[in-house]
Structure 1
Amino acid sequence: MSDTAPYTIPNQTRIGHIHLKVADLDRALAFYRDLLGFSLVAMYGTDAAFISAGGYHHHIGLNTWHSKGAPPAPVRSAGLYHTAILYPTRRDLAVALKRLIDAKYPITGAADHGVSEAIYLNDPDQNGVELYWDRPRDEWPLDADGNIAMVTEPLDLPGLMREL
């Protein structure tokens, strides 16, 4: 038996992008580009699009290669639970929430997780989407042993909107 510690992924590792199967590319672009504000980076014919924030090559790929016109995946099946989109500030999250409200886009939930504040919704293909911002790390709640102690509490939506 080895005395070495088990391998852990490097601390600087990040999730680079997601690629979603969608039924209707134009409808998906209307949500991710037009409503949420991502920029279109590239189209691959009429079957795929790559979008990003801040000029990155792509944060989200959208394609209809195997899903054009298909119904949403069943809720009670294995697969993606949600895509989490991290906003840089609380105010940015408030702007996103206001855009959703102004568009009358349905929100499925909202929560304060102690480490973050989040808004939940589904994209047009019923893929879960979390819009959130992280509190500064020194504000994260810790348990008696110093471990992160996430919670799920109601989000103060009026307080969030006061950021505007």
Structure 2
Amino acid sequence: MSDTPYLLASAGLSRLSHVSLEVADLDRALGFYREIFGMQIVLERALEGPDFEAVTATPGARSRLVRGLIAGNAVVQLFSHSWRKPNAEKRTLMSFEVRDGHAAHTLLRDKGVTCKSEPVEFDNSWAFVIEDPDGHPIEIIQWKADAQPYRSS
């Protein structure tokens, strides 16, 4: 392995946080993941309003989210969206967890990486989305100290 530092090391890049899948029919997809993989639901929520519009860079954006655990610790999020055609590009969103989201944003912006918004504060996190050179979305997320995003409520 190389000892060469990488850009987000100083922001505390720690792990892949989760994988998000866009689905055409959330209830059908949820049934599949529960039946086939034993997905345990840890969160169900509607996403909408100014903060969600900011992080998606889309006025009027609304989505429905189900977050679940597969095999105890693999985090999968299923989304259905009102603001773009389901599975139009079959995009998968990777989300990387950092200790300091604002520092990560500054490092990335200063490096010339496209950031879709400033870090947006949610009830349990700060998050923003960048794009890789091919336009694939990558979320950078900082969980708040008291957040327990992968535990059943």
Higher RCO structure, 1 or 2 (CA under 8 Å, sep 6+):
2
Higher relative strand content: 2
TM-score > 0.5, shorter chain as reference: no
TM-score (norm 1): 0.36
TM-score (norm 2): 0.39
Larger Rg: 1
